[in-house]
Amino acid sequence: MQLKQEIMSWFHTGQLKTGDQMPTELEIAERFGVSRQTVRQTFGELEREGWLQRVQGKGTFVSVPLNRQTQEVQTVGIITTYISDYIFPHIVRGAEAALRARGYRMLLSSTDNDKAKELDSLQMMMSQPLSGLIIEPTRSAEGNPNLAHYLSLDYHGIPYLMINERYAEMDCPCVKVDDEWGGYLAAEHLLRLGHRRIAGFFKSDDLQGVGRLKGFIRAHRELQVPLSPELVVHYKTEEKGTKPYEAALGMLGAASERPTAFVCYNDELAVLLLEAIRQAGLSVPQDVSVVGFDDSPLATATEVKLTTLTHPKEELGTAAAEWIIAMIEKRQVNRSDNKVFKPELIVRESTREL
């Protein structure tokens, strides 16, 4: 399977094109330190799937894969950072319903927010008779080490779009939430309630967090309220269970300079920081107001119902599916377009006037 994935990457990145002759079994065996039997089995699988063709007396050649546009049931792949938690099942559910209604099959993969697993997902998807691909970028603020595979989607004529954010160098369509506007609304709400020391907690390895922080800063600037640098906390995915919690406890322990409100990257973090506030012997919203983001099921699952920003979830998944179908069916689509949903503030019990 490892050898198969490596050879498939040669096809996807254009190192070997249709009609090119493959290296011999012996050459590949020596190159990768495997037996000729392993190479023979790999060639056999690729031949059965239509990627290779053996010509008696001449060798093995790259063949034309099954035509992606003439499959009886066309397949759309979806690559997300996560599948089974938080808001992601709702996004996938919306996409799946729209695809099924139009007779498409869905193929799902998750990267667990890991760049190497994103590569695995792309290779797996491209080994299928794929009609189109919906992708949520992995750690979108940290660059795109898998650029060659995205370019190979263009090379092979496979339409694709991105959801939630888009890698900076790509010009594919994107279906997303206006994260900067959401961050602005969260901070503005608290500032208008009289809060002047508002701590913000934002993920730094995805562009959603960057956008929400930008809006948070803009609200302070426009309402002419100075923002203390120590009140802004950055964290990465692997730190989400520790760094914000510890930073919140540290802030809450300083009675004279204690923040009176928290703006959180998402509802998941807001629920974690509710526990930090309790740990500090304080209460919400009497001592500290809290705003989340995404209006997830977590927002109303706690004893204090969260003020939060909406996220369209299923509607976003539906819009992405309808857009990729239009691209597959060659309807007019501007590749650099975005479909942007404006979040709205939902005021519940976790914020109060200071």
Gyration radius from the chain CA atoms: 24
Per-residue confidence of the chain (354 residues) as pLDDT tens digits? Answer: 888 878 887 877 778 888 889 999 999 999 999 999 999 999 988 888 778 888 888 889 988 554 444 445 789 999 999 987 788 989 999 999 999 999 998 999 999 999 999 999 998 998 888 999 999 999 999 999 999 999 989 888 899 999 999 999 998 999 999 999 999 999 999 999 999 999 999 999 999 999 999 999 999 999 999 999 999 999 999 999 999 999 999 999 987 789 999 999 999 999 999 999 999 999 999 999 999 999 999 999 989 999 999 999 999 999 999 999 999 988 766 666 789 999 999 999 999 999
- Pseudo-torsion of CA 34, 36, 41, 47, nearest 10°? 110
Tell me which amino acid residue 9 is. Answer: S
Name the H helices within 162-206: 179-192
CA distance 234 to 217: 13
Looking up tokens 């994107």 gives: 174
Looking up tokens 């339409």 gives: 159
Beta sheet of 105-110, edge-to-edge order: 105-110, 75-80, 132-135, 160-163, 174-177, 338-341
User: What pLDDT does residue 68 have?
Assistant: 41
User: What pLDDT does residue 72 have?
Assistant: 56
The helix (H) or strand (E) run that includes residue 160 is strand 160-163
Instruction: Give Dmax over CA atoms of the chain in angstroms.
Output: 85
User: What pLDDT does residue 126 have?
Assistant: 87
- For residues 272 and 306, the answer to whether their CB atoms sit within 8 Å is no
User: Which segments of 51-155 are extended strands (E)?
Assistant: 52-55, 59-62, 75-80, 105-110, 132-135
- For residues 264 and 292, the answer to whether their CB atoms sit within 8 Å is yes
> Which residue from 249, 326, 311 is spatially nearest to 76, judged by alpha carbons?
326
User: Which segments of 103-171 are extended strands (E)?
Assistant: 105-110, 132-135, 160-163
CA distance 174 to 129: 23
